[in-house]
């Protein structure tokens, strides 16, 4: 099969080579009827522009970087990251971009990567997962002209655009649901409190306890690390305080809490109710299935890519702040039969 060139398309369409190039690269100053004639020839011939030539013409690499900082340790064990990456990759495919994944493990790797991505030419833009508070990578990016957007709310970087969920409202609603069901000794396994998501979900827990008339008890708070193992040990400590319900700040941590509760010969939700945050696949397969706050992780991935493309095309000012709502998904782990819960409370009080 003969490889078609721009000159071939131009001859068939009766236009100049430069006109074909402007149509392919979606440039202005081409009359509508001419543009349609060129596109029709391209369709009929099956012509595919050479990717490298298109990049040179547009001064873009059509490569997007997804950066997972060294402060994030759960990328391969937490289903959040694969789901987020799926959404980003879906949008990359839709808009004809290639996704490059950068996993950082050491400060030296972070320094070397920053020197590479800060140079225009390698990447058209960067999506970076927020790490610990004080992580310098996002601050450094904000001082360059590299288009970037953050997955999660960063702190002290007012110029950064980001996509996140309303973590405070989500955890507030989760804990309020437990209070509505009659639970009063509600413990929590927080995310890492040196992260914005960990802080925000803990803040939602505190607000619900305070505004719903309960007393905040620091002994019912245990810090986790978004891993099942870390939450298992945190739950063992909380069991000494005899909670009647637990809010775990992620589904992965809820699984660790369930294991610790079972090993203590207690049942969920009969002895301790559990509500978590994420609604990723493990929430459905857990025993019992988890009541959880659903965050639309895959849609957030798509929106991250779309926001980055907006920044590439139109500049970083003003910063974009996209906040998704969460949704309470009720399953078996919370004991949502309010009547049964009330009877249990009364029976306990009279015994």
Q: What is the pLDDT of residue 71?
A: 60
Residue range(s) defining the domain that contains residue 175: 167-295+329-350
Q: What is the pLDDT of residue 229?
A: 94
User: What's this model's pTM, rounded to 2 decimal places?
Assistant: 0.78
Residues 239 and 317 in one domain: no
Residues 201 and 262 in one domain: yes
Q: What is the pLDDT of residue 341?
A: 44
Q: What is the pLDDT of residue 72?
A: 64
Residues 346 and 205 in one domain: yes
Provide φ and ψ at 150, rounded to 5°. -105, 135
Residue 246's DSSP bridge partners are 187, 274
Contacts 24+ apart (CB under 8 A), 142-151: 144/118, 145/120, 146/117, 146/118, 146/120, 147/308, 147/311, 147/312, 147/316, 148/308, 148/311, 149/125, 149/304, 149/307, 149/308, 149/311, 149/320, 151/84, 151/127, 151/300, 151/301, 151/304
Rounded alpha-carbon distances, angstroms, from residue 114 to 62, 76, 111, 135: 19, 23, 5, 13
Q: What is the pLDDT of residue 128?
A: 93
Q: What is the pLDDT of residue 136?
A: 79
d(CA 214, CA 146) in angstroms, rounded, equals 48
Residues 104 and 248 in one domain: no
Residues 202 and 308 in one domain: no
Q: What is the pLDDT of residue 23?
A: 81
Q: What is the pLDDT of residue 120?
A: 65
Q: What is the pLDDT of residue 350?
A: 33
Tell me if 1 is assigned to some domain: no
Q: What is the CATH number of the domain that holds 279?
A: 3.40.50.2300
Tell me if 242 is assigned to some domain: yes
Residues 190 and 211 in one domain: yes
* CA-only gyration radius of the chain, Å: 26
Instruction: Determine which helix (DSSP H) or strand (DSSP E) holds 43, and give its type and residue range.
Output: helix 32-45
Please answer whether residues 182 and 338 qualify as being in contact, where contact means their C-beta atoms are separated by less than 8 angstroms. Answer: yes
Q: What is the pLDDT of residue 131?
A: 79
Residues 338 and 234 in one domain: yes
Cis peptide before 347 (omega within 30 of 0): no
Q: Is 91 exposed, middle or buried (0-12, 13-18, 19+ CB in 10 A)?
A: buried
> How close are the terminal C-alpha atoms of the chain, in Å?
87
d(CA 316, CA 339) in angstroms, rounded, equals 53
d(CA 348, CA 338) in angstroms, rounded, equals 15
Residue 149's DSSP bridge partners are 127
Give me the tens of pLDDT residue by residue for the chain, a chain 351 residues long: 456 777 888 888 888 877 887 787 776 678 888 888 988 888 888 776 655 455 444 456 789 999 887 666 666 778 888 899 999 999 999 988 999 988 877 777 777 777 777 776 688 999 999 877 767 788 888 888 889 999 999 988 888 999 999 999 999 999 999 999 999 999 999 999 999 999 999 999 999 999 888 989 999 999 999 999 999 999 999 999 999 999 999 999 999 999 999 999 999 999 999 999 999 999 999 999 999 999 999 999 999 999 999 998 888 889 999 999 999 999 999 998 644 443 344 333 333
Residues 183 and 123 in one domain: no
d(CA 198, CA 165) in angstroms, rounded, equals 13
Token pair, residue 159, equals: 């110029």
Tell me if 90 is assigned to some domain: yes
Q: What is the CATH number of the domain that holds 15?
A: 1.10.260.40
d(CA 16, CA 34) in angstroms, rounded, equals 11
Structurally, how many domains does the chain consist of?
3
Token pair, residue 293, equals: 């706050």
d(CA 35, CA 18) in angstroms, rounded, equals 12
Q: What is residue 30's three-state secondary structure? A: coil
Q: What is the pLDDT of residue 52?
A: 47
Provide φ and ψ at 97, rounded to 5°. -120, 160
Q: What is the pLDDT of residue 346?
A: 35
């Amino acid at each position: 099969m003969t490889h078609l060139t721009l000159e071939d398309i131009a001859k068939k369409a009766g236009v100049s080579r430069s006109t074909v190039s402007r149509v392919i690269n979606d440039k202005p100053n081409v009359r509508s009827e001419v543009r349609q004639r060129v596109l029709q020839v391209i369709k009929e011939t099956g012509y595919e522009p050479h990717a490298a030539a298109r990049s040179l013409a547009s001064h873009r690499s059509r490569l997007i970087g997804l950066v997972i900082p060294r402060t994030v340790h759960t990328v391969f064990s937490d289903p959040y990251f694969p789901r987020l990456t799926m959404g980003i990759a879906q949008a990359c495919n839709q808009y004809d971009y290639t996704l490059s994944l950068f996993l950082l493990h050491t400060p030296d790797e972070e320094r070397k990567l920053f020197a590479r991505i800060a140079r225009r030419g390698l990447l058209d833009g960067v999506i970076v997962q927020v790490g610990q508070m004080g992580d310098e990578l996002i601050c450094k990016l904000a001082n360059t002209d590299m288009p970037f957007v953050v997955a999660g709310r960063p702190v002290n970087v007012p110029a950064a655009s980001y996509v996140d969920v309303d973590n405070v409202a989500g955890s507030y609603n989760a804990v309020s649901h437990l209070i509505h069901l009659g639970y009063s000794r509600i413990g929590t396994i927080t995310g890492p409190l040196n992260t914005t998501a960990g802080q925000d979900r803990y803040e939602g827990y505190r607000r619900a306890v305070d505004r719903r008339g309960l007393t905040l008890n620091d002994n019912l708070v245990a810090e986790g690390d978004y891993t099942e193992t870390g939450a298992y040990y945190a739950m063992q400590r909380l069991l000494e305080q005899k909670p009647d319900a637990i809010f775990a700040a992620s589904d992965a941590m809820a699984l660790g809490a369930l294991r610790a509760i079972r090993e203590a010969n207690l049942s969920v939700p009969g002895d301790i109710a559990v509500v978590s945050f994420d609604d990723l696949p493990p929430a459905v397969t857990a025993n019992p299935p988890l009541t959880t706050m659903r965050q639309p992780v895959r849609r957030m991935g798509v929106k991250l890519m779309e926001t980055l493309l907006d920044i590439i095309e139109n500049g970083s000012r003003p910063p974009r702040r996209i906040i998704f709502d969460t949704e309470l998904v009720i399953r078996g782990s919370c004991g949502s039969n309010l009547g049964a819960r009330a009877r249990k409370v009364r029976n306990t009080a009279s015994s």
